[in-house]
Amino acid sequence: MAVHFHEEDLPEGVLAPGPVAVDTETMGLVTPRDRLCLVQIADGRGDEHLVRFAPGSTYAAPRLRAVLADPARLKLYHFARFDLAAIRHYLQTVAAPVFCTKIASKLVRTYTDRHGLKDLVRELLGRELSKQQQSSDWGGAELSEAQREYAASDVRYLHACHAILVERLAREGRSALAAACFDFLPHRAALDLAGWAEHDIFSHESA
C-alpha cells in the first residue's frame, strides 16, 4: 500500500480498470468561492493517488478528467453531492456514474444517525480513521505527511464499504431506490451550483 502524490494531473496508466473511489479537498464549503485543492482517487488495489492543484491552476488535467468522465467506471464517494459539485465547477466534468456510501448508509443503517465515514468504516470494517486533519489548510505550498495520509484514508476503504452496502441494500429491498438516488446526485450538485443549495425545491413550502 502506498500513497502517490502528483501535481496537476494523474500519470498515464496508474489505475486498473473498474470502479474508482474519489474524494476532494477544498479551501472551504462554498464551492464557487473555495477552490479545489486536491482530488484523491484509488482503484481499490492498495494504492491511493493524490492530485494537487496549485493556486491559479487551469484544472486541465486531461487524464484525471478522462477517468472521472468515463461512463464505464463507477465512482465511489462518501457524500457525493459535495465532491460532484467541486469536480463539475473546477474540472468541468460530470464524474458519474455514482455510488454514495453516505446515502447507502442512510438507507440501510436506519438504526443509527451516525453516517460519517469514520463511523461507517468502524462498524463495517473494524478500522479506525483519524479526522484530525479534516479542517486544515489544503492550499499551502506543501502538504504535510499527516494531511496526505488523511486525504488517502478518505478513499482507502470505499471499495470495501461499497461491497458490504450493496449486499445490505439488496437484503433490505432498497437497491432500486438507492440507484435512483445515485442517478439524481449529479443533478442535485448542479442545483447546488445554480443557487439552490439551501432550498428544497420538492418541499410544499413556498420559500
Residue 204: pLDDT band by 50, 70, 90 thresholds?
A: confident
The reported pLDDT for the residue numbered 134 is 67
The reported pLDDT for the residue numbered 1 is 79
Angle, vertex CA 78, rays to CA 75 and CA 79, nearest 5 = 105
Domain of residue 186, residue span: 3-195
Asked if residue 138 is part of any domain, the answer here is: yes
The reported pLDDT for the residue numbered 132 is 66
Each residue's pLDDT tens digit, 77-90: 999 999 999 999 99
Flag whether pLDDT at 35 surpasses 80: yes
Could you tell me the CA-to-CA distances from 188 to 7, 79, 86, 177 in Å, in that order?
29, 12, 12, 16
Asked if residue 110 is part of any domain, the answer here is: yes
Asked if residue 106 is part of any domain, the answer here is: yes
* Count of domains for the chain: 1
Could you tell me the CA-to-CA distances from 23 to 79, 112, 189 in Å, in that order?
9, 24, 15
Asked if residue 149 is part of any domain, the answer here is: yes
Q: Which of 29, 30, 27 has its CA nearest to residue 38?
A: 27
Contact between 78 and 40 under an 8 Å Cβ cutoff? The reply is no
pLDDT (average), residues 164-176 = 98
Asked if residue 82 is part of any domain, the answer here is: yes
Tell me the pairing of strands 48-52 and 36-42: antiparallel
User: Would you give the end-to-end CA distance of the chain in angstroms?
Assistant: 50
Q: Which of 33, 64, 37 has its CA nearest to residue 49?
A: 64
Each residue's pLDDT tens digit, 122-147: 999 999 987 666 678 999 989 999 99
Percent with pLDDT over 90 in the chain: 90
Asked if residue 123 is part of any domain, the answer here is: yes
Contact between 104 and 127 under an 8 Å Cβ cutoff? The reply is no
pLDDT (average), residues 72-78 = 98
Residue 200: pLDDT band by 50, 70, 90 thresholds?
A: confident
Flag whether pLDDT at 180 surpasses 70: yes
The reported pLDDT for the residue numbered 136 is 87
Residue 207: pLDDT band by 50, 70, 90 thresholds?
A: low
pLDDT (average), residues 145-157 = 96
CATH number at residue 67: 3.30.420.10
Asked if residue 200 is part of any domain, the answer here is: no
Q: Which residue has the higher pLDDT, 205 or 116?
A: 116
> What is the grid cell recorded at 95?
464524474
Backbone angles phi, psi at 142, to 5 degrees: -130, 145
The reported pLDDT for the residue numbered 133 is 62
The reported pLDDT for the residue numbered 206 is 66
pLDDT (average), residues 60-88 = 98
Asked if residue 76 is part of any domain, the answer here is: yes
Mean pLDDT (the chain, rounded): 95
Pick the range with the lowest mean pLDDT from 29-38, 48-57, 84-93, 133-142. 133-142
